[in-house]
Structure 1
Amino acid sequence: MTTEAVKIMKKLKDKRVEYEVIASSYSSVNFNDIVNRIIAEVLGPERYGRAQAEVQRLKDQMSQTQVSTVEEISQLKVEAASKEAEAQRKYEEL
């Protein structure tokens, strides 16, 4: 890791400890909100916004891949059923 990355990681850990102490006093605190706030504080809103955009892009890409994979599986199942029916028909002809 670069020196800057090490410094950022330390800041993130320090802020997390700080926020966990605060959050332990409140039962209604959402952990994701805390993580988002910590990252925005340490990286700044501009860098955090770009990171969030990249995360969303990757999530969208994963969703598209999942949809296409499900479609391919369905198509393969249909083809397999068709071939099985054809094989069964040929077997019965014998």
Structure 2
Amino acid sequence: MALLTGERPSTRPRLSLDDMAAILGPDWTGGLDPVDVACQRLRDLLECAWPAVLATAGDPLEAITWRAALAVSTEPARIVDMGFDAFATAVRDELDE
């Protein structure tokens, strides 16, 4: 049994939005916006990989300052290396653009 499970791929292939719509029918696509789908995928990824970042704002995916901070860097080590003042300045610059 272990040999059989070892041969199986560890991840399931993701279906495209079009493939999902074809499987689930026309009613399924009526209320779906690709932007909403992308936001939900980002939220799901962050919940697994970096949950603390979601706790920084009430609705971080809609917060302009949160998006500006992520535009500066999404690598915690780089943010630490920058230091608070440099990071805050970079976020302010991003907001001014």
Tell me which of the two structures has the higher relative contact order, counting C-alpha pairs closer than 8 angstroms and 6 or more residues apart.
1
Tell me the TM-score normalized by structure 2: 0.31
Flag the structure with higher helix content: 1
Tell me the TM-score normalized by structure 1: 0.31
Larger Rg: 1
